Amino acid sequence: MDPVTISYAVEKTDDYRASILIEGLPGVGHVGKLVADHIVDELDGVLLARIISHHFPPQVFINKEGVVNLPKNELYLVKTEPPLLLLTGDCQSTSPEGHYILTEEYLNLAELFGVTRIYTLGGYGVGRLVDEPRVLCAADRPELIEDAVNAGAVFAQEEPPGGIIGAAGLLIGLGAIRGMEGVALLGETSGYLVDPISAGSVLSVLSQMIGIDIDPSRLQETAAELEGALEKLKESEQDREQEDLSYIG
Amino acid sequence: MDPVTISYAVEKTDDYRASILIEGLPGVGHVGKLVADHIVDELDGVLLARIISHHFPPQVFINKEGVVNLPKNELYLVKTEPPLLLLTGDCQSTSPEGHYILTEEYLNLAELFGVTRIYTLGGYGVGRLVDEPRVLCAADRPELIEDAVNAGAVFAQEEPPGGIIGAAGLLIGLGAIRGMEGVALLGETSGYLVDPISAGSVLSVLSQMIGIDIDPSRLQETAAELEGALEKLKESEQDREQEDLSYIG
Amino acid sequence: MDPVTISYAVEKTDDYRASILIEGLPGVGHVGKLVADHIVDELDGVLLARIISHHFPPQVFINKEGVVNLPKNELYLVKTEPPLLLLTGDCQSTSPEGHYILTEEYLNLAELFGVTRIYTLGGYGVGRLVDEPRVLCAADRPELIEDAVNAGAVFAQEEPPGGIIGAAGLLIGLGAIRGMEGVALLGETSGYLVDPISAGSVLSVLSQMIGIDIDPSRLQETAAELEGALEKLKESEQDREQEDLSYIG
Amino acid sequence: MDPVTISYAVEKTDDYRASILIEGLPGVGHVGKLVADHIVDELDGVLLARIISHHFPPQVFINKEGVVNLPKNELYLVKTEPPLLLLTGDCQSTSPEGHYILTEEYLNLAELFGVTRIYTLGGYGVGRLVDEPRVLCAADRPELIEDAVNAGAVFAQEEPPGGIIGAAGLLIGLGAIRGMEGVALLGETSGYLVDPISAGSVLSVLSQMIGIDIDPSRLQETAAELEGALEKLKESEQDREQEDLSYIG
């Protein structure tokens, strides 16, 4: 395999076009992932491509049937009007360089399918529970911030402090170089829990911006499942630390 | 040397064929390594190939005679019916990327010798002593889980939480892409000690699955030796930390 | 993008020549960055080139208008007599190797524009507040140390202990191999705060050495702005740690 | 520069031949470096080559005159009978992979100058002060251990536990693949201080093995100088940690 390996799940990529890419990879509160997974489920997304990479964690996950799966990112298309591409998955890069390398590959895919605007979704950890989470926004150009605010997002000059880390930030920064528009929607969240309420707020702003109604009612359910999976992962982090101590021998 | 260097210990690799690969590299409780080393010893394994790599720890080990050895992985063949390949060694990769790169090389070797099914062996750290360790299983397809359960393994939907880290996981995940079947057998173990009892349980399930009787009686002995070696390594970890502080000067 | 990508902001690089490069990237007390940014602002620097890189942090920053920017280094020219090149930016490499690779690129740019002497500016953290910060100096040849001392710098045999880390050090070390003269000016600073007083002292020595008067009065102002930005970044470091825990899922 | 850059200090490398290489890079108690530096000083070593590398720390050191120097390794020849090559310097690799890559380059140099036997020198940290430090030995073949023991070294089956880390280990392990003999001489040392007494013991065994008398009387002096330099470095480690926190901004 190459450091980044893309395998297409459709025969002719030319048959699939979308001008909008929505990114929802794992991150703070899994807000972005929750929204992206929800849209794929809700609107019957078609899998276009799978990405595996040396830059992903060196492990496999086990599903409910006991079947192992490599860490992966996936690109889906939902056939709404306009059609949407969704980038989701179960991991991001393990290294700083890998984030840049993977984002370039995401952008190559985006170009292949005709993307001109990118929405990146995420959480903004505030360290406390939030009853009515605001959705902060940032973009590669001022007009998009205005659009986001009109759709219910908040523009706060001092927030999020310190920028946007990982694919959600780099997709906009590196996408702008290729002439793609980019806007980040970040839901306030505690940072400690999978947060379907924050995800609901982000989904609402996003729906408004792309002009597509998406029923949020099953978000809560999806979040509960993900929460369970994450609990398991936290335990396994501890296993991994143990294991690191004994890899040599 | 290349980042991964394979040197063959036999003249004609074509003379050696096996459809089964068993992986037992160092890991939690050294359960997998214990089983693989035991099979090689017990059934007079023939060394086929040695692997050294930039991705291994930057050090040498010293054997009982004072002779130094590079960290290495080794591939053995035992001439049972069916014949078995065994992948064992004294280390895994020091970096996430290295795990992927090395696993691809293991799979290249597997293909070279005709492997169609991979068993990966390991421990599953539970943080407490276990009297009668269960053997958990995961696989690249449901049928293999059934086979493992029939051979005495346990399928528990929530275990191991968080997946399988390192070569034991990636061999199955990346092997599946090449069309190889893969099953992981993970013996419960405290995570703190070299565990011949857990290894015995794993060996029992494995023997049943591959249809070859393997006498477990010397496992205890092998474990005692490895325990001694590990004790020494733990001390040396401390040396290494000291050394790190003074490398510059 | 390449691991290091340089994009020129001027049409013909041949039209811009300077024999002096002044480096002021982020570091202890942001003393160097403060001085370099101040000179660019004060003397109406012309942007010549932008550098982005895989070796920079994998994130974007957000400016006051909510517009995202990739981490970058920038090369400016101020049309004084002699003209000056200024290397400034919002980050350095995230890895040891990256520091070497980026410094080579800085030197390629320096050669392109005709640089023969490099001044690197920084802080020297002393762990306590300093009322009248001294400016320590080091260079690639003894004559330059004499020049720096004549301009008000201090040569203290035991200081700075342990050398100069990052671009400020490597530019002089690797520049010398290419025949460029190099001198480092390091202002004493607590190490805990953005320090316009230390920056003022460094600016004073630098002005004297290059024979160009530069009004220091707005340094305090610039420092206050940077201090605000850094406060935000410290908070975001905490976010990042939180995020690291939840990237998988 | 390449990831590893070698620059020769002599016009014709063909004029310089030696069958013995002695490595003394920084490590525990700086025992190896102390011995190698001492031999170069005492026997008027001729500098043959300098190595700089991306794998070295990203910084410069400052000498007593205030002149900066890149971290480097150096290869010297002393014209004794037999002549000796000495590998010394002020650092080792910052990464695991770098240790392998650099060691291959050391071996390329060794081959170029005709080396057939390698002595690697180091300290073995025991965590307490030692009045009469033993010199432990390990080698790539049993005969060399016998030779070392005859020269005053000690062979103790359980020591050093866990092997030999860094260039001192890899030079023997990777050198053996190229057919070079290799022996490691490791002086007991506390691990906390530059240790001229341990270095004296190692020098004594080495002198005996290579059949060359080397006056140890100035070792104490060299150690005092190095101790001073190391004190400064420890302080700078703390600076570096401070600096790491503020690189972005």
Check CB contact under 8 Å for C28 and D236: no
> A156-176 pLDDT, tens per residue?
887 787 799 999 999 999 999
CA distance D94 to chain C (A): 7
pLDDT tens sequence across C120-171: 999 999 988 888 999 999 999 999 999 999 999 999 887 787 799 999 999 9
Pairing of strands C20-23, A135-139: unpaired
Which residues of chain A neighbour B194 with C-beta distances below 8 Å?
Answer: 249
Distance of CA A185 to the CA centre of its chain: 11
For residues B202, B207, B210 and B212, what is the CA-based torsion angle, rounded to 10 degrees?
160
CB contact under 8 A, A66 and B157: yes
- List chain C residues with CB under 8 Å of A70: none
Label residue A246 by pLDDT band (50, 70, 90).
very low
- Residue A203's Cβ-count burial label (10 Å; 0-12, 13-18, 19+) is buried
Contacts of A245 in chain B (CB under 8 A): 237
Q: What is the mean pLDDT of chain B?
A: 91
Is residue C245 over pLDDT 60? no
Q: How confident is the model at residue B232 (pLDDT cuts 50, 70, 90)?
A: low
Contact B162 A58 (CB under 8 A): no
pLDDT tens for D125-174 read: 998 888 899 999 999 999 999 999 999 999 988 778 779 999 999 999 99
pLDDT digits (tens, 9 = 90+) for D200-231: 999 999 999 999 999 999 998 888 887 777 77
Q: Which two tokens stand for residue B165?
A: 């880290």
Which residue of D164, D193, D227 is the best one to mutate when testing the B interface, meaning the one whose CB has the most B CBs within 10 A?
Answer: D164
Instruction: Answer yes or no: do A249 and B101 touch at CB < 8 A.
Output: no
C97: nearest CA partner in chain A: A97
Nearest residue on chain B to D154, judged by CA atoms?
Answer: B66
Contacts of D243 in chain C (CB under 8 A): 27-28, 125, 165-166, 191
Domains defined along chain D, listed by start: 4-240 (3.40.50.10900)
Q: Do C29 and D246 touch (CB under 8 A)?
A: yes
Q: How many CB atoms lie within 10 A of CB B124?
A: 26
Task: Identify the contact set of chain A against chain B, taking CB-CB distances under 8 A.
Answer: 1, 3, 53-62, 64-70, 94-95, 231-233, 235-237, 239-240, 242-243, 245-249
Q: What is the tens place of the pLDDT at every residue in D171-189?
A: 999 999 999 999 999 999 9
Residues of A in contact with B33 (CB under 8 A): 249
Q: How confident is the model at residue A225 (pLDDT cuts 50, 70, 90)?
A: confident
Q: What residues in D contact B243, CB-CB < 8 Å?
A: 27-28, 125, 165-166, 191
d(CA D117, nearest CA chain B) in Å: 15
Q: Which of helix, strand or coil describes residue B75?
A: strand
The answer to whether residues C183 and C147 touch, using CB atoms and an 8 Å cutoff, is yes
> Pick from C43, C50, C140: which is nearest to C87 by CA?
C50
Q: Looking at the partner chain, which of C3, C67, C248 has a beta carbon nearest the beta carbon of A233? A: C248
For residue B232, which residues of chain D lie inside 8 Å, CB to CB? 158, 161-162
Q: Spell out a b/e string for D224-234, using b for 16 or more CB atoms within 10 Å of the CB, else e.
A: eebeebbebbe
Q: How would you classify the pairing of strands D20-23 and D84-89? A: parallel
- Neighbour count for residue D14 (Cβ, 10 Å): 9
CB contact under 8 A, C96 and D55: yes
The continuous run of DSSP H or E covering A27 comes out as: none
- The alpha-carbon gap from D74 to the nearest alpha carbon of chain C, in Å, equals 16
- Which residues of D are less than 8 Å from B96 in CB distance? none
pLDDT per residue over B101-135, tens digit each? 999 999 999 999 999 999 999 999 998 888 899 99
pLDDT score of B59 more than 90: yes
Both structure tokens of C206 = 């630098």
Work out the average pLDDT over B54-74: 96
A64–B157 C-beta distance less than 8 A: yes
Distance between CA atoms of B228 and C100, rounded to whole angstroms? Answer: 42
Q: Which of A97, A134, A145, A237 to mutate to test the interface with C (most CBs of C within 10 A)?
A: A97
pLDDT at B247: 47
Residue of D nearest to C97 (CA): D54
pLDDT of amino acid C236: 58
Q: Where residue B239 falls among pLDDT bands split at 50, 70, 90? A: low
What is the predicted pLDDT for the residue at D56? 98
Touching subunits for chain D (3+ Cβ pairs under 8 A): B, C
Residue type, B189: T
Q: Distance between CA atoms of C118 and C164, rounded to whole angstroms?
A: 15
Contacts C242 to A, Cβ<8 Å:
28, 125, 191-192
A151, A152, A210, C26, C105 from A147: Cα distances, Å: 6, 9, 10, 34, 39
pLDDT of residue D161: 76
Helix ranges, D93-166 (H): 96-112, 142-150
Q: What is the pLDDT of residue D242?
A: 45
Interchain pair B247, D91: CB under 8 A: yes
**What pLDDT shows up at residue A26?**
96
- ipTM value: 0.91
> In this structure, what token pair is assigned to residue D12?
């014709």
Residue A232: closest CA among chain C residues belongs to which residue?
A: C249
D170, closest residue in chain B (CA to CA): B59
* pLDDT tier, B243 (very low <50, low <70, confident <90, very high otherwise): very low
